[in-house]
Structure formats: C-alpha cells, structure tokens
C-alpha cells in the first residue's frame, strides 16, 4: 500500500508541475495578455442563474468571452479526469482503514466522487449548449438546467471532501494527521456554505486546492507517517 500512497502523491504533483510549465510557456509567448485593454474576462459559469446573467457575463453569440469559455471547457474535461481519479484513489485508501466505518465512508466518498464528476461532465455539455445559443433563443429552462448540474456537482464534491477527512481521524491518528483532517473538514464546511453564498466559491477553490496539494506532498514524501494507524 505504501507504493500506492506514493503514487497518489507524486502523480498529482507531477501534473501540477506540467500545468504550471505549460502556462509559463504560453505567457512567455503571448505577452499581450498583460495589456490593460486586453479583454480577458470569461464567463463566470458558477454564478450564472438567469438569461440576464448570461448576457451580463458573456454577451451574445460571437462575444470573445464565449470563445474563451468554449476553449476552457475542453481543458476542463482533463481537469475532471484528474480530480475524479485523485478522489477515487483517496476513497480506495479510506476503505482500507481497519475500522468498519472506514470501509463504508470510503465507499460513500467514491460514489460521491463519481456523481460529482458525471455532473461536471453534464454541466459542461449544457454549458456548451448555452455558449452556442443566441441570446434571444436562450430560454430560462436552458440556464436553470445548467445551474442544476452545477449545484449537484458542488454538493457531490463537498460530500466527497467531507467523507475523505476520515483518512486522518480515528485510532492511531494524532499530530499532523489531525490537522489534515481539520483542513478537509473546514474545506467541506466552506464548500457547503458556498452552495448558499456563491461569493464563497473563490474561497472554497483556494481552500480545497491548498488542502489537496498539501495532501499530495504528504503522500509523496511522508507516506510512512500517513500510514500509521492503518
């Protein structure tokens, strides 16, 4: 199991490194992105709820913000595969906890992760439909359908994160592990609040991103410490 833990840490760290390298190369080749007059705003899809929101965020068909968002959707499918794989790997580890509650909590986390990923794919499909539809032909139901997929996605991801803090609680866990458990719990709490107050989504992105990055570092370099209590 130690090798599996190491891989669960090194693989996401490697992917993060590749993404940062690609972004650095793109920015070096396209210095114009830093110009003040350059319109780099994109659709704030997590906040769109009405046709009026669509118009305010992305204008009508042909607006460059829509083109940018369509390109982003293609990248997002890769992101979905990465986070779904990471969540499923963590869920598999949780099922290996000695206590029975670990088995059931791991299965629950895995199911929630799958639901979240599938809802994310569904959201992307519906978002693409909105982006390719003229504003006058965009109906409230189309937008509401996209928004429902977004809510289900985030609810499922929050449930996954909440369940995964079981990796760091229980018999034989102390010190740093309890801090990791608290970080997962806090991230889940912020995510739950963000479902009601969408302004907190940015805070949630930062919280869960840092938590997962720290977890990957822990698994990559301190697998033995993590495995105590398993």
- The answer to the question of residue 220 being in a domain is yes
pLDDT of residue 171: 67
Q: Which domain holds residue 194?
A: 2-44+84-123+151-227
- The answer to the question of residue 138 being in a domain is no
pLDDT of residue 35: 39
pTM of the model: 0.84
Which residues have CB under 8 Å from 229's CB, separation 6+? 170, 171, 172, 173, 177
Structural domains counted in the chain: 1
Intervals of the chain under pLDDT 50:
30-42
pLDDT of residue 107: 95
- The answer to the question of residue 217 being in a domain is yes
Q: What percent of the chain has pLDDT over 90?
A: 33
- The answer to the question of residue 109 being in a domain is yes
pLDDT of residue 33: 36
Instruction: Read off the pLDDT of residues 38-89 as tens digits, 9 standing for 90 and up.
Output: 344 445 666 778 888 888 878 888 888 888 888 888 888 888 888 899 999 9
């Amino acid at each position: 199991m130690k090798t599996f833990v190491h891989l669960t840490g090194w693989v996401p760290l490697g992917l993060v490194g590749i993404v940062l390298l690609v972004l650095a190369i793109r920015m070096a080749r396209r210095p114009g992105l830093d110009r003040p007059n350059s319109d780099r705003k994109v659709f704030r899809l997590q906040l769109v709820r009405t046709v009026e929101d669509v118009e305010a965020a992305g204008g009508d068909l042909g607006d460059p913000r829509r083109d940018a968002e369509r390109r982003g959707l293609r990248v997002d499918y890769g992101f979905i595969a990465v986070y779904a794989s990471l969540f499923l790997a963590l869920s598999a580890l949780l099922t290996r906890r000695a206590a029975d509650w670990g088995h059931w909590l791991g299965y629950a986390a895995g199911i929630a992760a799958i639901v979240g990923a599938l809802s994310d794919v569904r959201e992307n499909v519906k978002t693409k439909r909105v982006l390719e539809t003229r504003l006058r032909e965009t109906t409230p139901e189309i937008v509401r359908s996209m928004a429902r997929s977004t809510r289900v996605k985030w609810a499922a991801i929050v449930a996954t994160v909440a369940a995964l803090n079981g990796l760091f609680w229980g018999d034989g866990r102390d010190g740093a592990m309890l801090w990791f458990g608290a970080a997962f719990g806090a991230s889940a709490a912020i995510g739950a609040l963000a479902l009601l107050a969408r302004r907190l989504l940015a805070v949630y992105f930062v919280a869960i991103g840092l938590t997962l990055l720290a977890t990957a570092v822990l698994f990559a370099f301190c697998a033995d410490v993590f495995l105590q209590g398993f």
